Amino acid sequence: MLSLGARARYLLRMESAWQDDWHLARAYLAWQAELGATDAICDAPVNRYDLPAKLEKPKPAPVAAAPLAEAPQPDPVADAQTMAQAAHDLDALQAAMAAFEHCELKRGARNLVFSDGMRGARVMIVGEAPGREEDRVGKPFVGDAGQMLDRMFAAIGQRRDQPDPKKALYITNILPWRPPQNRDPSTEERAMMRPFVLRHIELADPDILILMGRISASTLLERDVRITKERGEWTSVLGRPTIPMLHPAYLLRNPAAKRDAWADLLSLQAKLRELP
C-alpha cells in the first residue's frame, strides 16, 4: 500500500504522462475507479449558489400524431361469395373464377380447369384439384386417374361424353388451379374456393352429387372426413343426395379397394333408379 506522499508523487507523474497517451489515460482512469473514486472534479470549483433562483419549466414533449387507421384487409371468402352469387349461369361463374385474384395458385397455373362433361347431367362429380395433365389440357380428370374414373362409371352406363342427360356425367373440382407438386390443397385455399363450388352445384343442378376423395368430401361436408370409413354413406349437400367415394388415384395405388368402389357404384346406380 503506497503512503499518501508516494501516491501524490505517482499521480503527478501519471498526470503529465497521460496527456500524451490515450491508453495510459484509460489505465489511469481505471486505477482511480479501483481506488474508489466515484466523481470527477473539475480544475475550477463550481459555485452552485450562482444557479438561477427559478429554473425554467421543461417544455412538454410533442404529442405524437395518432397513427393512421389501417385499411381493412380483404376477406377472400366474402369476396368469393359475392362474386359467385352474382353469376347467373355457368359461363358467368367461370368468368368470375378467372377474375378471382385471392388464390395464389392462379399465378403458377397454366389453365383454369373449370369442368368437363355434359351440363345438365343427372350426376355431378366433384374432385379435388387438377394435376399436371389437367393443368396442361384445361379439363378435369384427363390423366391416369381420369382414365380410371371413365372405366369405373362406364361399368354402370355413365359417361362424360354421353349426350343423354340420364347417362351423362358432369365433372369439376374443388380447386380450378393445380397446386405445386400436386400437394393437397390448403385449408385457406379450400375455404376461399368453396363458395364457387357451391354455386357451381346450384347452377349445374344435378340430381346426385359425388364427392370424389377426402378433400372434396371434407370441403363440402365441412368436417374432417375419413374417406375409407365414410365412403358409400349417403348424405346431402344443398338438398341433393350425395355420396363420398374413393378417389381413382387412391384405387390406382390400392387395387384391393376397387371392391369398395364397385359397391359404391352399384349403390349409385340403385339411387338413380329410385329418383324420378
Residue 19 pLDDT? 60
Name the least confident of 8-17, 148-157, 204-213: 8-17
Sheet with 235-237: list strands edge to edge.
116-117, 169-173, 123-127, 208-212, 240-245, 235-237
Q: At 184, is the secondary structure helix, strand, or coil? A: coil
Residue 226 pLDDT? 96
Residue 25 pLDDT? 67
Answer with the residue of higher pLDDT: 163 or 25.
163
Mean predicted confidence (pLDDT) in 252-272: 97
Q: CB count, 10 Å around CB of 173? A: 28
Q: Is the pLDDT of residue 21 over 70?
A: no
Spatial distance between the Cα atoms of 97 and 152, rounded to a whole number of angstroms: 30
Residue 61 pLDDT? 74
Cell numbers of 194, please? 368453396
- β-pairing, 208-212 vs 123-127, is parallel
Q: CB count, 10 Å around CB of 160? A: 23
Residue 226 CB partners (closer than 8 Å, separation 6+): 214
Answer with the residue of higher pLDDT: 228 or 7.
228
Q: How confident is the model at residue 110 (pLDDT cuts 50, 70, 90)?
A: very high
Cell numbers of 139, please? 379439363
Q: pLDDT tens-digit profile of 48-99? A: 666 666 667 777 777 777 677 677 788 999 999 999 999 999 999 999 999 9
Domain boundaries of the chain, sorted by first residue: 1-31, 77-274
Answer with the residue of higher pLDDT: 251 or 70.
251
Query: Residue 168 corresponds to which amino acid?
Result: A
Residue 75 pLDDT? 95
Query: Mean of the per-residue pLDDT values for the chain?
Result: 89
CATH code of domain 77-274: 3.40.470.10
Residue 74 pLDDT? 87
Smallest Cα–Cα separation from 170: which of 149, 194, 195?
Answer: 149
The Cα-based distances of 123 to 102, 129, 157, 204, 262 in angstroms read 30, 19, 12, 10, 17
Residue 27 pLDDT? 73
CB-side neighbour CA atoms (13 Å) of 186: 8
Spatial distance between the Cα atoms of 24 and 138, rounded to a whole number of angstroms: 81
Mean predicted confidence (pLDDT) in 157-185: 96
Classify residue 75 by its DSSP letter. Answer: -
Residue 71 pLDDT? 72
Mean predicted confidence (pLDDT) in 218-228: 97
Number of H helices, E strands in the chain: 12, 6
Residue 70 pLDDT? 74
Identify whether the C-beta of residue 178 lies closer than 8 Å to the C-beta of residue 105.
yes
CA 172 to chain centre: 21
Q: Is the pLDDT of residue 108 over 70?
A: yes
**pTM for the full model?**
0.74
Spatial distance between the Cα atoms of 254 and 248, rounded to a whole number of angstroms: 10
Calculate ∠ Cα 222-225-230, nearest 5°.
125
